[in-house]
Amino acid sequence: MAVYAAHDVLVAGAGRRMAEDNPLAGSGARLSDTIGHPKASGDREGQIQGYASATSVSQGQVIDFHVSVHAEQSYRIAVFRLGDYGGKGAWLRTTSAELQGRRRTVPTADPTTGVIACDWPVSWSLRIPSDWRSGLYQAVFTTEDGDVGSTPFVVREPARSADILMVVPFTTYQAYNMWPKNGHTGKNLYRGYNKAGRIGGTEERAHKVSFDRPYSGAGVPNWFEMDTSFLRWAERSGLDVAYASSLDLHDGTIDTSRYRALFFPGHDEYWSKPMLDSAKKAVSAGSHLAFLGANNIYWHVRMEASADGRANRIMACYKTSPDPDRDRSGATTRWRVISPNQRQAEQGVLGIQFNGIVQRPAPLVVKGSGHWLWAGTGLREGARLPRLVGVEADAYDPKAPSPAGSRRTLLAESPYLAKLPKASQRQVQHTALTEMPNGAMVFVAGTFHWALALDHPRYWNRHIQTATRNLTNRMLRRQT
């Protein structure tokens, strides 16, 4: 198949910085319009769905798209760079020629591991132009009938230093991906279908998941809006941001020590040992970490090759089941139970750790209002920011380890009701800043709704936006 060399719908100078690209007029619509498109693809019908050959690609490299169309007809692939773009949320970079669609086989799950891996042929290949900026991109598939599907990927610039590296959590995206939700086939690392055709529990879940498959539905991963909310806010704020996939931390494609700060704005729950080592390397080099969600670095995973030998296309996480292939990194279970006395608990890196699923959104309660994080917000001690503690929460655990020589400052202390399997329990959420002996800082929001407060219409909060600006200024050594 010929490789398509993209041309821009809007032309930008090759040396233009990210912050200078952003004011250009966008094209397309916010991602929510694609998700809610009246003809968005579903897994049962599979109107049009596809996946990319990689989670990230550099300028000059080729990325392949593998697409299935439920009925033979033509379709096109439009590639958007996601950002603010005057509120439009996306910039159309290129569109394929007309392609002919075919229905591809939905594979069955492996009877031992539950892995579902597609072997669809390449439908379209795109060589990334040298002037495409690093960013989070979305390939949108549209049939002649108007059906829509999509898949995300990152364009990286590993040779360019930037103030901030935003890491997109593709490992966690895939852990939650239950494609295909067709009533009998789909599995993820949490559940699968039972014999009655209903979604079951841990007995039906997979132990391994493949990146060679579409994301369920319209192709938008779970909690993608956390990442897109931050990137829109960051680029509108003029921050110098480069982008990477979580797998770039795993395979060493990205040198994390090149950046002043690494931001993890999304739900970043599934980490391999090389990913964790990469983050620790950044802190040791004096770079800062910022996690704008909760329940981070919770499950230990192992990356494996696909059946045809392509590296890092299968992710294993046996969780509470015996891991038959455990290696020197340990079994693929919770980090906090891999070694005795929770020595590898997430708090040992982050300063706080996961402590509960939030039954219903609760106010985030400000603590330490005189701290620089809250400067300019006008918030007083005990101020309550409505509905900002949501989905999952973190807190300081005095029984878990802390980073050696560190100083922890709690900046929110929020009561909430945690949902347990058969009951509820009152818990407390913390937002925390942990300062290391070398000056590196690790910030953890401790709630999913912090990132959404930056640019999601339902959770938009000016106080959180000011606090996050204070955080980036301090991490980038600017005066707040």
Please write the tens of the pLDDT for every residue from 356-410: 999 999 999 999 999 999 999 999 999 999 999 999 999 999 999 999 999 999 9
pLDDT for residue 257 = 87
For residue 36, name the pLDDT band (cuts at 50, 70, 90). Answer: low
Question: How many angstroms separate the CA atoms of 59 and 447, rounded?
Answer: 35
Mean local confidence (pLDDT), 61-87: 96
Could you give phi then psi for residue 278, rounded to 5 degrees?
A: -65, -40
Q: Return the beta strands (E) in 23-145 as ranges.
A: 48-52, 56-58, 62-69, 74-82, 90-95, 99-100, 124-127, 135-143
Helix or strand run (H / E) with residue 415? strand 407-419
Mean local confidence (pLDDT), 67-95: 96
Q: Is 219 left (phi over 0), alpha (psi -120 to 50) or beta?
A: left
pLDDT for residue 148 = 95
Mean local confidence (pLDDT), 305-322: 97
Mean local confidence (pLDDT), 264-276: 98
Percentage of the chain surpassing pLDDT 90?
87
Residue 10 pLDDT more than 70? Answer: no
- Read off the tokens for 305: 């090759």
pLDDT for residue 38 = 58
pLDDT for residue 11 = 23
Mean local confidence (pLDDT), 41-54: 95
Residue 118 pLDDT more than 50? Answer: yes
Q: 3-class secondary structure for 192-208?
A: EECCCCCECCHHHCCCE
pLDDT for residue 339 = 86
CA distances, 40 to each of 158, 347, 398 (Å): 34, 40, 47
Residue 444 pLDDT more than 90? Answer: yes
For residue 16, name the pLDDT band (cuts at 50, 70, 90). Answer: very low
Please write the tens of the pLDDT for every residue from 93-111: 999 999 999 999 999 999 9
365-372 long-range Cβ contacts below 8 angstroms, 24+ apart: 365/412, 365/413, 365/414, 365/415, 366/411, 366/412, 367/410, 367/411, 367/412, 367/413, 367/431, 368/409, 368/410, 368/411, 371/409, 371/411, 371/433, 372/470, 372/474, 372/480
Asked whether the whole model's pTM tops 0.85, one would answer: yes
Mean local confidence (pLDDT), 176-188: 97
pLDDT for residue 340 = 84
Mean local confidence (pLDDT), 448-452: 98
Q: Where are the domains of the chain?
A: 3-224, 255-298+349-475
Please write the tens of the pLDDT for every residue from 294-312: 999 999 999 999 999 999 9
How many other C-beta atoms are found inside a 10 Å radius of the C-beta of residue 306?
A: 16
Nearest to 174 by CA among 147, 214, 142: 214
Domain formed by 3-224, architecture: Sandwich (2.60)
Q: How many helices (H) and strands (E) does the chain have?
A: 10, 25
Q: 3-class secondary structure for 277-312?
A: HHHHHHHHCCCEEEECCCCCCCEEEEEECCCCCCCC
Identity (one letter) of the amino acid at 20? Answer: E
pLDDT for residue 478 = 60
pLDDT for residue 143 = 96
Average pLDDT over all residues of the chain = 91
pLDDT for residue 292 = 98
Mean local confidence (pLDDT), 234-238: 97
